[in-house]
Amino acid sequence: MKEAKMSKKFKSIYAEIERFCFDREDPALAIRNMRNFTEGYDAFGIEDEELKILRDRILTEYEITPREIAELGLILLQSGKYEFGTLAILLIKKHRPRMDAYVRERIKEWLDTAVENWAHADFIGSKILPIFFELELIDLESYASWRDSRSKYTRRAVVTSLMWQRRALDAAAMLLFLTPLIRDQEKVVQQALGTFLADLWEKAQIPVEAFLEEHKDSLDSNVLKQATEQMPISKAKLYRPKPPKKIHNPRPKPKFKPRPGGKKE
Determine the residue type at 185. Q
> In 25-165, where does DSSP find H-type helix?
27-33, 48-62, 66-78, 82-93, 101-109, 118-127, 129-134, 144-147, 152-163
Residue 185 has pLDDT above 60, yes or no: yes
Residue 101 has pLDDT above 50, yes or no: yes
Residue 264 has pLDDT above 60, yes or no: no
Closest CA to 87 of 30, 46, 38: 46
- Residue 242: per-residue pLDDT: 73
Share of the chain above pLDDT 90, in %: 85
Which of 10 and 5 is assigned the larger pLDDT?
Answer: 10
Long-range contacts of 52-58 (CB under 8 A, 24+ apart): 52/90, 54/16, 54/17, 54/20, 54/87, 55/87, 55/90, 55/91, 55/94, 57/16, 58/13, 58/16, 58/17, 58/91
- Residue 2: per-residue pLDDT: 47
Residue 40 has pLDDT above 90, yes or no: no
CA distances to 17, 114, 211 from 233, rounded to whole Å, are 51, 41, 18
pLDDT tens track for 129-141: 999 999 999 999 9
- Residue 1: per-residue pLDDT: 44
DSSP H or E segment with residue 19: helix 8-24
- Residue 241: per-residue pLDDT: 79
- Residue 166: per-residue pLDDT: 83
CA distances to 42, 54, 80 from 30, rounded to whole Å, are 8, 19, 14
Reported confidence tier of residue 63, pLDDT bands at 50, 70, 90: very high
- 85, 157 contact by CB (below 8 A): no
